[in-house]
Amino acid sequence: MTKANGVSGVLVRHFFRRFFDSDTVSAEGDTVTTVVRAVSMAAAPGLMAAFFLQNQYPRRSLWGSIEDHYFFVLLTFVVLGAVAVFEWEMLFPDRLDFLILSPLSINPVKMLGTKLAALAGFLGLFLFASSVFGAIVLPAVSKGDFPRQMMAHATAVLMAGVFASLLFLAVGGGLICVLSASWFRVALPVVQTFSITALLLAMLHYFKCGDAMQAMLGHEPGMLRWLPPMWFLGVYESVLRGDGAPAFAAEMTKYAVRGTLVVSVAVAVTYPLAWVRMQRMAMEGSGGRYGEPSRWMTRVQHWVVRRAETRGVFHFIGQTMRRSSRYQVYLAMYCGTGFALAVACAVTYRLDGSGVPRAALATDGLRALTPLLLFWMVAGLRGAFAIPINLLARWVFRMAGVTMQVCADAGRQWALFCSVGVLGVVLAVLFAAGWDARQLVVQGVLGACLCVLLTDGFFFSGQSIPFNEARMPGRTSLPLVLTLYVGVLPAFILWMMQLDEAMEKRPVRLLMVVLGTALIHRLIVALRPGPEVEEEELEGYDGEFQLLGLSRQ
């Protein structure tokens, strides 16, 4: 009995640690630090929001307090949904787990039970972190019936978090059950991208329309019935106010209870089936085939990328993107965030005659699409290339005689091509929105200049092989990243919007912008450090590629 319990404990700890042991979120297997950082990020928004609201009470109106309650419900829903999407494949044992654990004398039922226990602990940790401070601090600062509001808060946010976790777990299990292995690999990043987009849009929608809560819920809810966080707001108000709750609360509470039951049944049915399917996929292989690129794409690449060595690294980047599921998760999360920000900028809300907000396209928001998405694309690729997915394969480049400079050039060209593709999509969207030729030309020229300058800026000192850059101590700075995205990005977008408006009035000035871009590009090329800098930094480092990790044996 003791031995069985010991095996179960080892398996639970193993599966729990596997949620955090990933090249995209941790380095050198530092699980404890990764757990602390992740939990802190989940807990901080609720604590900060609750303290920020302390000056609003007890003078806060009824609908103002409902708006505050909705924020905490929505926060937990988004956090648990994003965590489930990010760890979607790890919610089930992966191929490595099955290949190593299946031959051992472990009862399959025990393996399933321990995985479920680790999964419950993993999701429960984030559920607790995202809700605990709000459940204590908000009832305290609201100066109402503390025990009743604490119970209402805990009930609503816990139900919202459980529903979000089960919803995405059911979606992931359903995809595994109905799709083949190859189609599952194709569909998973697409579904993850749109899931993150939907979650973040719900949060951004709150910041835009939170003050119109009374107009949206003071009468027939309408389309809000399809927004799950609203269901659990109804639970919050029903538990807190009882019979005195607004009219929408009773109806939304029914949807919350029914929805939670439905996703619970869906998970109970799909998870065991998905477990069996994942085990079969692990034993048989994914079955994915990577066909040859089309002839026209090959010709374009040969015309643009002249050097054979650069083309080789160029193809290596593309194959890594297609084959690495962990990279695809990162890409899906990043692209989903970018799409959500783009939609939030392009769509505004105006109050109609009844005071209900209606969606409409925003001219200024459409101007922000080009700088926002280009900045987001290039910065994201620079961060992605630094993920050491293929660290032990670095010896291939040394044996092939490919220099660091060639690898860096290929990474810059890949980022440049992706940004040009994004620019083309943005121009197509603006054309569909009714922009005239002058506006499109200005956007195209400014966007092309941005593609060059952003690529030069983010890849200025990049002299490493994409996906093979060892994590060096002191290389990553969280304050610097926050400054870049919170401080620099908004100011950069506002400046580009003003520049775009000025260029539309006097398009002749575009020539000066093009000449300035060319001069800056040549200056950056001249100042760019040579490949010997990267070689010196890696000198004697234990992760150097010719060692292949064999020096520790």
**pLDDT (average), residues 54-64:** 82
Going by the DSSP 8-state scheme, the letter that residue 518 receives in this structure is: H
Residue written as tokens 């040859």? 292
> Above 50 in pLDDT, residue 546?
no
Residue written as tokens 């925003």? 362
E strands, 379-532, are none
Quote the pLDDT of residue 34.
65
The C-alpha atoms of residue 492 and residue 485 are separated, in whole angstroms, by 10
Residue type at position 400: A
| pLDDT bucket at 479, cuts 50 / 70 / 90 | low
Q: Picking from 402-416, 452-466, 485-499, 536-550, which range would have the lowest pLDDT averaged per residue? A: 536-550
Q: Given 3-state DSSP classes, what are the helix, strand and coil percentages for the chain, each rounded to the nearest 5?
A: 80, 0, 20
- The answer to whether 43 and 28 are in contact (CB under 8 A) is no
Rg (CA), the chain: 26
Which position has the higher pLDDT, 441 or 211? 441
Which position has the higher pLDDT, 38 or 53? 53
The model's pLDDT over 181-217, given as tens digits with 9 standing for 90+, comes to 778 888 888 898 999 999 999 888 888 777 777 777 7
The C-alpha atoms of residue 17 and residue 20 are separated, in whole angstroms, by 6
Quote the pLDDT of residue 295.
67
> Above 70 in pLDDT, residue 504?
yes
- Report for 6-10, 80-84, 320-324: range of highest mean pLDDT: 80-84
**pLDDT (average), residues 305-313:** 73
Exposed/middle/buried for residue 542 (C-beta within 10 Å: 0-12, 13-18, 19+): exposed
Exposed/middle/buried for residue 491 (C-beta within 10 Å: 0-12, 13-18, 19+): exposed
Quote the pLDDT of residue 165.
92
Strand partners, 358: 350
Give the start-to-end residue ranges of the domains of the chain. 2-284, 295-552
Quote the pLDDT of residue 412.
84
**pLDDT (average), residues 15-30:** 62
| pLDDT bucket at 98, cuts 50 / 70 / 90 | confident
Nearest CA to 152 out of 134, 164, 129 is that of: 134
User: ∠ CA 478-533-394 to the nearest 5 degrees?
Assistant: 80
Nearest CA to 74 out of 196, 161, 195 is that of: 161
- Report for 98-107, 223-232, 282-291: range of highest mean pLDDT: 223-232
Going by the DSSP 8-state scheme, the letter that residue 358 receives in this structure is: E
Which position has the higher pLDDT, 178 or 93? 178
Element (H, E) at 357: strand 357-361
Element (H, E) at 46: helix 31-52
| pLDDT bucket at 180, cuts 50 / 70 / 90 | confident
Quote the pLDDT of residue 448.
92
- The answer to whether 320 and 384 are in contact (CB under 8 A) is no
SS3 state at 9: helix
Which position has the higher pLDDT, 235 or 480? 235
The C-alpha atoms of residue 365 and residue 160 are separated, in whole angstroms, by 31
- Report for 24-33, 292-301, 324-333, 478-487: range of highest mean pLDDT: 324-333
Which position has the higher pLDDT, 24 or 224? 224
Residue type at position 208: K
Please give the mean pLDDT across all residues of the chain.
79
Contacts of 171 (CB under 8 A, 6+ apart): 191, 195
| pLDDT bucket at 549, cuts 50 / 70 / 90 | very low
Residue type at position 342: A
487: its two tokens: 């401080």
Q: Residue 421: how many CB atoms within 10 A of its CB?
A: 12
> Above 70 in pLDDT, residue 357?
no
Which position has the higher pLDDT, 473 or 477? 477
Measured CA to CA in angstroms, residue 307 lies from 297, 418, 462, 476, 530 at distances of: 16, 19, 19, 32, 19
The C-alpha atoms of residue 233 and residue 66 are separated, in whole angstroms, by 8
The C-alpha atoms of residue 386 and residue 542 are separated, in whole angstroms, by 17
Residue type at position 358: R
Which position has the higher pLDDT, 478 or 45? 45
- Report for 107-111, 125-129, 281-285: range of highest mean pLDDT: 125-129
Quote the pLDDT of residue 450.
92
Q: Picking from 3-7, 239-243, 480-484, which range would have the lowest pLDDT averaged per residue? A: 3-7
- The answer to whether 258 and 159 are in contact (CB under 8 A) is no
Q: Residue 472: how many CB atoms within 10 A of its CB?
A: 12
DSSP class per residue in 69-138: HHHHHHHHHHHHHHHHHHTTGGGS--HHHHHHHTTSS--HHHHHHHHHHHHHHHHHHHHHHHHHHHHHHH
The C-alpha atoms of residue 151 and residue 157 are separated, in whole angstroms, by 10
Nearest CA to 316 out of 394, 405, 377, 417 is that of: 394
Nearest CA to 341 out of 294, 379, 384 is that of: 379
266: its two tokens: 């869906």
**pLDDT (average), residues 480-504:** 83
Which position has the higher pLDDT, 50 or 464? 50
**pLDDT (average), residues 93-107:** 73
- The answer to whether 189 and 335 are in contact (CB under 8 A) is no
Contacts of 275 (CB under 8 A, 6+ apart): 92, 93, 112, 115
Residue 483, phi then psi, degrees to nearest 5: -60, -40
Q: Is the pTM of this model over 0.85?
A: no
- The answer to whether 235 and 155 are in contact (CB under 8 A) is yes
343: its two tokens: 């939609």
> Above 90 in pLDDT, residue 515?
yes
> Above 50 in pLDDT, residue 265?
yes
